[in-house]
Amino acid sequence: DQQVKQNSPSLSVQEGRISILNCDYTNSMFDYFLWYKKYPAEGPTFLISISSIKDKNEDGRFTVFLNKSAKHLSLHIVPSQPGDSAVYFCAARTGSARQLTFGSGTQLTVLP
Amino acid sequence: DADVTQTPRNRITKTGKRIMLECSQTKGHDRMYWYRQDPGLGLRLIYYSFDVKDINKGEISDGYSVSRQAQAKFSLSLESAIPNQTALYFCATSDLTGYNEQFFGPGTRLTVL
């Protein structure tokens, strides 16, 4: 059973528009959530995170929203740029070992 | 220079062979991790280590073993490779503080024929 789900394998957006990537989770013990971006032939790189005690965190063009009651988080990219084209993974942290559980990823394509 | 390096970057091997994937880091982090990525499944944790004397199994440790030779080195071994171990393997590191932001290496693409 996947505890962190990204139900959209792919998303295409026009340059300059908003990209919204979604992530759902089932484990209420997750206390911290992270988004990673991955380009081909590279490892994932950290993008933005949010604590479970907050509902929004913003960093430049990137904003993450957390809805705990719905067990849902989303990543907004505004405005989207062609260089944002990558696979985006959401991840959730739990336990004293602080392990991360990853979603399956969403391929974002920003069209020029 | 990359902070987290993995060798080899690509490897093709045959069923039954022993394979070792190596990871080195210059970030000075205590924690190191091995993940595998399969299409449609994201990254799954194989093993993790919080220091040289501390090794822990992750979600999918069967068929794998690890060795933490030093703070900076963490190796993953497949004692007898099988085709369903064909995947992209990532090493990652994190420090003891903060929110467990993990820093990933570039990955090793392993194909078992």
Residues in chain B: 113
The whole-number average pLDDT for the span B38-42 is 85
Kindly report the nearest CA distance between residue B107 and chain A, in angstroms.
6
Across the range A2-14, mean pLDDT stands at: 94
Given a cut of 90, is residue B1 above it in pLDDT?
A: no
Contacts of B45 in chain A (CB under 8 A): 99-101
pLDDT computed for residue A48 by the predictor: 95
Q: pLDDT tens digit string along B51-85?
A: 899 999 998 999 999 999 999 999 999 999 999 99
Q: Does B7 touch chain A (CB under 8 A)?
A: no
User: Is 90 exceeded by the pLDDT of residue A95?
Assistant: no
Chain B residues inside the 8 Å CB shell of A4 = 42
- pLDDT number for residue B100: 64
> Chain B contacts of A34, Cβ < 8 Å?
99-101
Q: Examine the pLDDT at A2 and tell me if it is beyond 90.
A: no
Q: Which residue matches tokens 């091997």?
A: B13
What does the block give as tokens for B86? 């064909």
Q: What is the mean pLDDT of residues B32-48?
A: 92
Q: pLDDT tens-digit profile of A38-74?
A: 999 899 999 999 999 999 999 999 999 999 999 999 9
Q: What is the mean pLDDT of chain B?
A: 92
Among B42, B39, B45, residue whose Cα is nearest residue B84:
B39
Query: DSSP for chain A?
Result: --SEE---SEEEEETTS-EEEEEEE--TT--EEEEEEE-TTS--EEEEEEETT-SEEEETTEEEEEETTTTEEEEEESS--GGG-EEEEEEEEETTTTEEEE---EEEEEE-
